[in-house]
Amino acid sequence: MVAETTLTPNDLIAPLFVREGIEEPAPIPSMPGVLQHTLASLSAEADRLVSLGVPAIMLFGVPLVKDPAGLGASDPDGIVQAALELLTGNLGEKLLLIADLCLDEYTDHGHCGLLDDRGLVDNDATLERYGEVAVAQARAGAHLVGPSGMMDGQVGAIRKALDDSGFPDVGILAYAAKYASALYGPFRDAVDVQIAGGGDRRGYQQDPANRREAIREVQLDIDEGADIVMVKPALSYLDVIGEVRRRFDVPVAAYHVSGEYSMVKAAAERGWIDGHAVALEQTLAIKRAGADMILTYFAGELAESLGG
Ligand code: PBG
């Protein structure tokens, strides 16, 4: 009765991976319990999440072929577009479909944007590609797109592309304050991404030392038309989540990322912690800090124990 914070399945968003060209779902060794789905197993998992009361998924694609421009991301027959069509056909409005919008899963160099002739990410050329990806995802049935590439101006460019193509109702969940974190390692296994030349994303993602910069990033995204803003990762950035919650009057999401998931699983496998209890405590803390919704690979498992 006196609990100030409660966690329910309705607070959770499940990130899911769908891989082109596999016959059976494939386990991801660094993320025990998480799979690269086939279209069929994705559809079954979506049904399961609906029955558990999880309201939304964030979809990531792993294409068969990668190229410099990440063409698979906007191909009408690309894997995420195929998945969106299947899920909207099967589930309609029962599950909110969010498509992660980025190029790194689709580029052969593993960066989130196009590269210029010096091998540096070309911010403005990338914005045009993001517009094409957004329109392809909207056309395939995405309810929201989730730009995660941290290019400057991405939310405005995507909003304009969606509006100009007749998709004013498709919303934007912006990865607004996304840090250049060491906690994304297992995710990069999940989507088969290696950044060219041992590079990193510090040129476009945020410096973990900075909180005020996060506020500027969130403000820009809201000004450009973001409907929901996200802080990522979650546990090492609870102060940022709290500050964003206090300062802005839009829904706030937090991404409990792959490394956060895998650390809990690894320690639990060794019997050093009670993994389920830790997952509950961590997600409750993220909500207490101010997140309205939490993306977590524990979504299904937590929803099972929280009850629909
Ligand atoms: C980029 C993207 C990343 C994640 C979500 N979208 C990885 C990155 O920026 O390198 C990480 C998610 C996670 O670690 O769970 N498309």
How many angstroms separate the alpha carbon of residue 58 from the centre of ligand 1? 12
pTM: 0.97
pLDDT digits (tens, 9 = 90+) for 3-57: 999 999 999 999 999 999 999 999 999 999 999 999 999 999 999 999 999 999 9
List the CATH code of the domain at 9-305: 3.20.20.70
**In this prediction, what percent of the chain has a pLDDT beyond 90?**
94
Residue whose Cα lies nearest atom 8 of ligand 1: it is 184
Ligand 1 atom closest to residue 102's alpha carbon, by position in its atom list? 16
Catalytic residue numbers read: 178, 232
| Contacts of 166 by beta carbon, 8 Å cutoff, 6+ apart | none
How many angstroms separate the alpha carbon of residue 54 from the centre of ligand 1? 21
Mean pLDDT across the stretch 62-91? 97
Average pLDDT value over all residues in the chain: 97
pLDDT digits (tens, 9 = 90+) for 225-236: 999 999 999 999
Which DSSP helix (H) or strand (E) runs through 282?
Answer: helix 275-289
Residue 192 has pLDDT above 90, yes or no: no
With the most atoms of ligand 1 within 8 angstroms of its CB, the residue from 102, 129, 183 to mutate is 102
Mean pLDDT across the stretch 254-268? 98
pLDDT at 179: 98
What distance in Å separates the CA atoms of residue 220 and residue 156, rounded to the nearest whole number? Answer: 9
How many angstroms separate the alpha carbon of residue 214 from the centre of ligand 1? 17
Handedness of CA 30, 292, 59, 111 (dihedral sign): negative
Ligand 1 atom closest to residue 184's alpha carbon, by position in its atom list? 14
What distance in Å separates the CA atoms of residue 241 and residue 111, rounded to the nearest whole number? Answer: 26
Residue whose Cα lies nearest atom 10 of ligand 1: it is 184
What distance in Å separates the CA atoms of residue 123 and residue 11, rounded to the nearest whole number? Answer: 33
Confidence of residue 307 (pLDDT cuts 50, 70, 90): confident
Contact in structure between 85 and 141 (CB atoms under 8 Å): yes
pLDDT digits (tens, 9 = 90+) for 193-244: 889 878 889 999 999 999 999 999 999 999 999 999 999 999 999 999 999 9
Confidence of residue 308 (pLDDT cuts 50, 70, 90): low
How many angstroms separate the alpha carbon of residue 187 from the centre of ligand 1? 6
Mean pLDDT across the stretch 67-72? 97
In terms of DSSP bridges, do strands 96-101 and 35-37 run parallel, antiparallel, or are they unpaired?
unpaired
Which DSSP helix (H) or strand (E) runs through 37?
Answer: strand 35-37
Residue whose Cα lies nearest atom 1 of ligand 1: it is 148
| Contacts of 117 by beta carbon, 8 Å cutoff, 6+ apart | none
Protein residues with CB under 6 Å of any ligand 1 atom? 100, 102, 104, 112, 148, 184, 187-188, 201, 257-258
pLDDT at 19: 98
How many angstroms separate the alpha carbon of residue 60 from the centre of ligand 1? 10
Mean pLDDT across the stretch 261-276? 98
With the most atoms of ligand 1 within 8 angstroms of its CB, the residue from 137, 148, 183, 202 to mutate is 148
Ligand 1 atom closest to residue 257's alpha carbon, by position in its atom list? 15
Please state the domain extents for the chain.
Answer: 9-305
What distance in Å separates the CA atoms of residue 66 and residue 144, rounded to the nearest whole number? Answer: 24
Tokens 């499940």 — which residue? Answer: 14
pLDDT digits (tens, 9 = 90+) for 84-112: 999 999 998 999 999 999 999 999 999 99
Cα–Cα distances in angstroms (integers) from residue 5 to residues 1, 11, 83, 208, 286, in the given order: 10, 12, 35, 27, 10
